[in-house]
């Protein structure tokens, strides 16, 4: 029966399990087509962040040293790059997922959140793959595994929930306003420079340092850096910030998506 | 037993005089108080039921709302008013192969497209040989489908769609695929499904086909049900209307 169902989170999650096979297929499709005609294939998922780190390390290391230095700067950079690139990649792909699948949406009934969800899933797998070279570089830098590392998956899971929410929001908005794609391109660049990836938060003026608490990516990156580089468990406040942003954004994204999804078909 | 119950379904399309799709345009239009819509009712108060095992043909002129009805039944669009009650799972055969990825092989596409149509993994593994055989693709199944001819593509698409025995099957002009031999084969498969207790709704511009295959026919005219009844009567009336100056 197709009536007006009421919004419920449990229904979303139930749907997610029912369409597991479809999501699996869509994710494996993304992987197969992404690297289909490249020689190094999946290794690009490892190489890309390492190369980025190499370039930025070469360019910024002296500058940072002059400003007081950051311990384990290569690791510091790489953590930021892996997480922020993963975030950016997920958002870009999920944002375009609804408009990009217009031909399917108008022909077959599939719950529409499947499209952004599968894109977030495939881009997240990519981000998780990029964690492998990250951990290898940690070992090279003699940052040996320690007990706090068991919380790494928690930090990543919260980041992915945050991204899922943002992906739902962006993909829904893009159906109605194609400008979002271009606005987001500019916005995410600003966001990247506003996040302490290359520099440390101490280098910012005090007024800006206070503003960083409103930057979700600052919290997620700091969370993982605390675990890998400082090798201690994060404060309880760090958990709370990460959880707050994750569930808040997810609720907002799911709400907007649910409210608008029935109208997609008239706009794509 | 009623498998499909369409109750007073109406659907409204909001047409904008000039299509506004950027934020700036919307702001400007809002500011000028010009965000006006023109309403167009693609369907008005359409009601009919289809019983279990029945084959319902849908006819009407271009733009009468035939495909829209099928889209509402398959859940792609939601009606503005009214509702649709279904007694089983629906498999849509709307425009074959829309879920194909041209970079993947035929085999990979069987699984991808099958998943999109809602089949389970076990089911696809079990039926894979049957799909391959029906499609007559042989060793080409492991080639990327961007190398396929259009005939090969439709054969693969039809084979994936036809392998299920759905409770409700929805076909929008799909019986005219492939060469004549494959058409005969796909028609035979359709008849088998129809004989096997599947409830079928189908749209075709071929009136003879509708008359031969349906148990009942509904004639849509400008989004309203103009006539509903046995195939001979409705098709004859529709033909007459087509020949008249109105049609």
Query: How far is A255 from chain B, CA to nearest CA, in Å?
Result: 18
What's the token pair of residue B184?
A: 């005969």
Q: How confident is the model at residue B89 (pLDDT cuts 50, 70, 90)?
A: confident
Cα–Cα dist A168/A254, whole Å = 6
What's the token pair of residue B128?
A: 């894979």
Question: Residue B65: which domain range?
Answer: 2-243
In the predicted model, is pLDDT for residue A247 greater than 60?
yes
Query: How many domains does the structure of chain B reveal?
Result: 1
Instruction: Tell me whether residues A32 and B103 touch, CB distance under 8 A.
Output: yes
CB B3 within 8 A of CB B168: yes
In the predicted model, is pLDDT for residue A9 greater than 70?
no
- Helices within chain A (DSSP H only): 9-18, 20-34, 44-66, 73-100, 102-105, 114-140, 152-176, 179-194, 206-211, 216-225, 236-260, 264-267
Interface test with B, best of A17, A25, A41, A106 (most B CBs within 10 A): A25
Query: How far is A177 from chain B, CA to nearest CA, in Å?
Result: 5
At A3 the pLDDT is: 40
Instruction: Tell me whether residues A107 and B76 touch, CB distance under 8 A.
Output: yes
Q: What number is the average pLDDT over the span B222-241?
A: 92
B25 CB within 8 Å of a chain A CB: no
> Running DSSP on this structure, what letter comes out for residue A199?
S
Instruction: Tell me whether residues A178 and B94 touch, CB distance under 8 A.
Output: no
The closest of A204, A207, A184, A185 to A194, measured between CA atoms, is A204
At B235 the pLDDT is: 92
Q: What number is the average pLDDT over the span B95-111?
A: 83
Strand partners, B41: B12
**In the sheet that B90-94 helps form, which strands lie side by side, from edge to edge?**
B90-94, B168-172, B199-203, B55-60, B216-221, B224-229
At B93 the pLDDT is: 67
Cα–Cα dist B12/B37, whole Å = 11
Q: Which residue among A22, A262, A266 sits closest to B115, beta carbon to beta carbon?
A: A22
- Mean pLDDT rounded to a whole number for chain B: 84
Cα–Cα dist A171/A97, whole Å = 7
At A168 the pLDDT is: 96
- Which residues of chain A neighbour B23 with C-beta distances below 8 Å? 177, 179
Q: What number is the average pLDDT over the span A196-217?
A: 91
We report the CATH number of the domain holding residue B81 as 3.40.50.300
- CA-nearest residue to A101 within chain B is B99
Q: How confident is the model at residue A241 (pLDDT cuts 50, 70, 90)?
A: very high
In the predicted model, is pLDDT for residue A163 greater than 70?
yes
At A5 the pLDDT is: 43
Query: How far is B180 from chain A, CA to nearest CA, in Å?
Result: 26
Query: How far is B141 from chain A, CA to nearest CA, in Å?
Result: 17
Query: How far is B227 from chain A, CA to nearest CA, in Å?
Result: 25
Instruction: Tell me whether residues B116 and A108 touch, CB distance under 8 A.
Output: yes
A114 CB within 8 Å of a chain B CB: no
- Which residues of chain B neighbour A267 with C-beta distances below 8 Å? 21
- Which residues of chain A neighbour B41 with C-beta distances below 8 Å? none
CB A11 within 8 A of CB B94: no
């Amino acid at each position: 029966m197709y009536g007006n169902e009421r919004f419920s989170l449990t229904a979303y999650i139930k749907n997610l399990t029912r369409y597991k096979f479809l999501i699996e297929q869509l994710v494996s499709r993304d992987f197969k087509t992404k690297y289909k005609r490249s020689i190094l294939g999946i290794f690009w998922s490892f190489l890309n962040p390492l190369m980025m780190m190499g370039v930025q390390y070469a360019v910024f290391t002296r500058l940072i040293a002059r400003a007081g230095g950051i311990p384990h700067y290569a690791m510091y950079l790489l953590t930021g790059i892996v997480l922020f690139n993963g975030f950016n990649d997920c958002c870009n792909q999920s944002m375009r997922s609804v408009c990009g699948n217009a031909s399917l949406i108008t022909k077959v009934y599939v719950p529409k959140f499947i499209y952004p969800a599968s894109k977030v899933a495939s881009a997240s797998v990519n981000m998780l793959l990029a964690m492998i070279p990250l951990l290898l570089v940690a070992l090279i830098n003699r940052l040996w595994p320690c007990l706090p590392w068991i919380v790494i998956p928690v930090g990543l899971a919260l980041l992915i929930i945050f991204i899922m929410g943002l992906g739902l929001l962006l993909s829904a908005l893009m159906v109605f306003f194609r400008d979002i794609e271009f606005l987001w391109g500019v916005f995410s660049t600003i966001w990247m420079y506003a996040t302490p990836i290359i520099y440390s938060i101490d280098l910012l003026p005090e007024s800006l340092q206070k503003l960083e608490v409103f930057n979700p990516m600052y919290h997620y990156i700091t969370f993982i850096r605390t675990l890998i580089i400082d090798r201690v468990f994060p404060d309880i406040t760090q958990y709370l910030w990460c959880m707050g942003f994750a569930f808040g954004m997810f609720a907002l994204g799911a709400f907007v998506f649910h409210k608008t999804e029935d109208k997609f078909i008239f706009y794509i | 037993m009623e498998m499909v119950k369409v109750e007073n379904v109406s659907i409204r399309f909001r047409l904008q005089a000039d299509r506004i799709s950027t934020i700036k345009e919307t702001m400007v239009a809002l500011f000028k108080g010009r965000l006006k819509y023109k309403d167009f009712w693609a369907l008005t108060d359409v009601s009919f039921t289809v019983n279990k095992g029945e084959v319902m043909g849908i006819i009407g002129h271009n733009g009468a709302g035939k495909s829209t009805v099928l889209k509402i039944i398959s859940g792609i669009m939601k009606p503005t008013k009214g509702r649709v009650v279904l007694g089983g799972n629906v498999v849509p055969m709307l425009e074959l192969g829309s879920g194909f990825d041209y970079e993947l092989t035929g085999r990979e596409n069987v699984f991808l497209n099958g998943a999109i149509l809602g089949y389970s993994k076990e089911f696809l593994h079990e039926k894979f040989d049957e799909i391959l055989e029906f499609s007559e693709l042989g060793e080409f199944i492991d080639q990327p489908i961007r190398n396929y001819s259009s005939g090969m593509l439709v054969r693969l698409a039809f084979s994936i769609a036809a392998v299920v025995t759905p409770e409700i099957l929805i076909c929008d002009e799909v019986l005219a695929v492939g060469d004549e031999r494959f058409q005969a084969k796909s028609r035979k498969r359709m008849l088998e499904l129809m004989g096997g207790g599947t409830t079928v709704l189908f749209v075709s511009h071929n009136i003879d086909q509708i008359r031969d295959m349906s148990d009942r026919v509904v004639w849509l005219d400008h989004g309203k049900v103009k006539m509903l009844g046995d195939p001979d009567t409705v098709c004859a009336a529709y033909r007459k209307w087509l020949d008249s100056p109105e049609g």
